[in-house]
Copies of this chain bind each other. A is one copy, B any other.
Amino acid sequence: MHIEGTVARRLDGTAVGEAIRASLRPRIEAFTAAAGRPPGLGIVLAGNDAGSEIYVRNKVKACHAIGIDVDLQRLPREASLGEVMAIVDRFNTSETYDGILVQSPLPAGMGRDAERQVFDAIDPAKDVDGFTPVNVGRLVQNRPALAPGTPSGVIALLDRAQIPIQGARAVVIGRSDIVGKPMAMLLLHRHATVTICHSRTADLPAVAATADILVAAIGRPGFVTREFVKPGATVIDIGATQVTDRDQIVSLFGADSPRLEVLARRGATQVGDVHPDVASVAGALTPSPGGVGPLTIAMLLSNTVRAAEMRRGA
């Protein structure tokens, strides 16, 4: 039971991410010994979106640290969709690259439909982001599939924290293809009763407050306030908005928050969808940063290793 005024248990994604990485090391060693090469991940980064630069740098670093080979292909902002496609084609037919990741967003000049076309072109066996229709379909059918990293990471976090999913009421706020929908499916397959909410949901706080497990994936800093949360519920914060407005930080975290120092130093600070006051009513809560972000990268590594093993028929 949660007692009013206590602080929610902190679900540490960094620690769980490290545990996942540790479990991958022997598999990577075994694969490398058997295949005569390490697992390989091909990455396409087009343009120089600031967020993408950071994400890709972190992914490359994480791969190198664990023994996954990376081929990072950079293209200028003015590159054509055809150039991206040519790299994807080369990775598709490569013997040594088991996973393919095209960093989103692609430059706007490639056209509105560019990402969809590129993701569709990726060999499903190498689709470590789980964005191709075949992998989405297999995930929905509860069959072996390469599943998107963030929702898979949330399941791993809940399991390692021993938070029961079966029989729980789960509410997912957000219905994106890469987080909300696969999150709902993964929770459903673990026998939760799942509700998917979104911008058109009537009386959203009341619906959210039915949840034993509440997942917020909308990208609106501090949107999920205390009234959204049943006392003692587990709250998973997938939001990771870079906030640059000092007043917004002060209003959410107070005038003495250490985040102001981060803001001053870096020009932005990452803020989740969950309001800090929720810590006084939730039973368990992921921080942002330090929650699902590290898990997403850990699951990318896991998918790359899995794709490598599957391609060798293991």
Contacts and interface: CB of A to CB of B under 8 A. Distances in A.
Interface of A: 116, 132-138, 140-141, 143, 166-167, 169, 175, 177, 181, 184-185, 188, 191, 193-198, 200-202, 207
Contacts of A177: 140-141
A196 to B, nearest CB: 5
Contact of A193 (B143, B181, B195): B195
Contacts of A184: 196
Nearest to A124: B133
A193 B207 contact: yes
Contact of A133 (B137, B175, B191, B195): B137
A137 B200 CA distance: 23
B195 A191 contact: no
A147 B82 CA distance: 31
Query: Nearest 8 A-B pairs (CB), nearest first?
Result: A133-B137, A136-B137, A137-B137, A195-B195, A191-B200, A193-B201, A133-B138, A133-B134
A197 B168 CA distance: 11
User: Which of A116, A140, A166, A191 has the most chain B CB atoms inside 10 A of its CB?
Assistant: A140
Nearest to A135: B137
Contacts of A175: 188
27 contacts: A116-B143, A132-B137, A133-B134, A133-B143, A134-B134, A135-B137, A136-B140, A136-B141, A137-B137, A137-B138, A166-B200, A167-B202, A169-B202, A169-B207, A175-B188, A181-B188, A188-B196, A188-B198, A191-B198, A193-B196, A193-B197, A193-B200, A193-B202, A193-B207, A194-B195, A194-B196, A195-B196
B193 A198 contact: yes
Contacts of A188: 175, 181, 196, 198
Contact of A136 (B136, B196, B198): B136
A143 B169 CA distance: 29
A169 B135 CA distance: 29
Contacts of A138: 133, 137
Contacts of A134: 133-134, 137
A120 to B, nearest CB: 10
Nearest to A119: B141
